Amino acid sequence: MKHQAGFTIIEVLIALTIFAVFASVYSASQGYNFIDSVNLRQDLKLQELCTNKLNEILLDPPALTESLTLSEDVKTDENDRNFEYHIKYARFKIPDLNLILGDENDDDQQDMNQAMAKKIGEQIKKNIEESIWQVEVVVVDKTTQRSKRLATWLTNRKAKIKINMM
């Protein structure tokens, strides 16, 4: 029997185990690749819809009034009922730097130039807050609950820049 050629049962079992591990790893990686490609396809679709809606708003912005900031606008996509748009508008807010940094000068030490600079700064702040707005678009896939968010700045074309020196 020592001169017979062939594999022992142990060698065959080791080879089958190695093959089974390789086959299961390969199958799992193919499954993950499929899932990742489906997720990427969904993300690209959401990105496209979000960009298109944002471009529509940029090309034809609504009248930027305070009523836009009261609630979020929710719309369903006309072409595909599985997608929903959430559109939110907000005014640009500049924080009061005196509150953040603290006012180092006493009222007695302020002269006419400092008072004028403060008044001009307040008017510039008010004009900027009136003329710059933010719009945020969130597209939600109702079937998977995946979402994509994009935001940009809008210019209020009807805002009047006012500088009053008095």
Measure Cα distances from 142 to 46, 118, 136, 139 in Å. Answer: 11, 50, 19, 9
Measure Cα distances from 47 to 54, 77, 88, 90 in Å. Answer: 10, 14, 17, 22
Q: What is the pLDDT of residue 130?
A: 81
Rounded CA separation 136/102 (Å): 33
Rounded CA separation 123/117 (Å): 10
More confident residue, 52 or 113: 52
Which residue range is the domain that position 142 belongs to?
Answer: 9-155
pLDDT score of 97 more than 80: no
Domain annotation covers residue 165: no
Domain annotation covers residue 139: yes
Position 102 confidence tier, pLDDT thresholds 50, 70, 90: low
CA nearest to 85, candidates 154, 149, 155: 149
Domain annotation covers residue 25: yes
Percent with pLDDT over 70 in the chain: 84
CA nearest to 86, candidates 41, 150, 130, 165: 150
Mean pLDDT of the chain: 83
Domain annotation covers residue 35: yes
pLDDT in tens, 105-145: 555 555 676 777 777 778 888 888 888 889 999 999 999 99
pTM: 0.64
Domain annotation covers residue 160: no
User: How many domains are there within the chain?
Assistant: 1
Domain annotation covers residue 109: yes
More confident residue, 20 or 65: 20
More confident residue, 136 or 65: 136
Cα four-point dihedral sign 54, 60, 61, 67: negative
Q: What is the pLDDT of residue 104?
A: 56
